[in-house]
Amino acid sequence: MQRVLSGVFLFLFCLFSVAQTPDEILQAANKNYSAKQYGKAALLYAQCLDSLKDRKNPDIEYNAACSFSRAGNHEKAFEHLNKAIEDGWIDKKHTFSDPDLVPLYGDEQWKLFTAAFEGKIEAKKTDYTWGVYFGILFILFFYNLFLLLMLRTKVYLFYTLLILVFAQLEYATNPPFAVLISKVFFWMPLLAGVKQAFICFASLATMAYLLFVREFLQLKSKSKKLDLTLKILIVALAIQTLLTYFLRFPVRPIAYSMWLISYGVAIGAGIYCWRKGYRPARFFVLAASLHTIGVFLGTANDIGLIHFDITFGVLKSYNIGGIGFLISLALALGDQINILKKEKENAQQKALENLEEKVRERTNELKEQKVLIEEKNKEVMDSIRYASRIQRALITSEKYISRNLKRINNP
């Protein structure tokens, strides 16, 4: 009988509200709700939702649910509540403290609704967390891609490649993203499941990491042995990745061992260069330590060695360690640029000081030469004057002799 009456009311309201806009219907529903005419308000809210067609409006859905709850129509109330959370209603505090929904507490559907609502909220939190996580990765990637295009250095090339492969790893090992990637990249279906994809991309990320380490720490000039060790590890990781990808070879324990050895050698190389006075290595050691701790905890949990992990929402230790690792590497690169810039400025300042010193020395030399020239000039002038006096004296004597000779010859 109640359903019949609800249908009649709905028909009458639709009949007399044909010309009304959704806003007008909503205003009428709010007035009836304020007047505690919950049955009429519920029907008007339902009519307003029908007039909106496919447009989602979780607020109106929730108001309709509250009105139907007050009117005693629990079935319709739960229908609109479920529709509200589907459309994006996530106000948990308001929902569980709303007196309009108290009549629904005794209904068996309330527990089902509560579970669905909690799941929806957790899903929203998960989406938000992953959104922030991948947002940080994209910002790091595009920022360093810009620096790569500006600076054109190998270290930024390998760092940008590392971020790209790391992001690919995270995408491929999270089922919602893995489905999307399998549609975009034709080779993804060849990977036999998420675990195999994880091993392949983790190995590629480790290879990119070791390439970055060689370039960043300048091992080619600082330590030939460490440089050769990293080259051997890169080749071994490439072989292991090919075995995983093409032959379906069970290399999971080998892969875990290779990763831990690679990260350990990288940390050792960083400490070695730091002790040798290479200042940019300090941030690198911090970055490598964070990543190694995250990988160790994640790997140990995965193979069952320990049952302890550091988590933040849906993010696990290797996710947290990975993002901390990339940010610390960015700081290390920035520190390296600042140190190189400072060294360049110091070298320029030293060159300028040397130039000024040479200018002062040359000026002093010129002054000394000027004094010598002036002294020589004075000596020459004195000699000229002396010679001039001698010449005048000789001319006078010659004239005197000539007169005397004339007198002698002509007495």
Q: What is the pLDDT of residue 407?
A: 61
Across 272-293, average pLDDT: 83
Across 93-117, average pLDDT: 86
- State pLDDT tens for residues 119-157: 888 777 777 777 777 788 888 888 888 888 888 888 889
Across 183-205, average pLDDT: 61
Across 291-303, average pLDDT: 69
CA–CA gap between residue 350 and residue 355 (Å, rounded): 8
CATH of range 2-107; options 1.25.40, 1.10.287, 1.10.8, 2.40.50: 1.25.40
Among 9-18, 37-46, 232-241, 357-366, the minimum mean pLDDT is found in 9-18
Q: What is the pLDDT of residue 301?
A: 66
Query: pLDDT-derived band of residue 102, with 50, 70 and 90 as boundaries?
Result: confident
Q: Is 272 a residue whose pLDDT tops 80?
A: yes
Q: What is the pLDDT of residue 235?
A: 92
Rg (CA), the chain: 44
- State pLDDT tens for residues 315-325: 666 677 777 77
Q: Is 83 a residue whose pLDDT tops 80?
A: yes
Q: What is the pLDDT of residue 17?
A: 46
- What share of the chain has pLDDT > 70, as a percent? 76
Q: Which two three-digit tokens encode residue 240?
A: 């292991």
- What share of the chain has pLDDT > 90, as a percent? 4
- Phi and psi (nearest 5°) for 52? -75, -10
Across 195-203, average pLDDT: 76
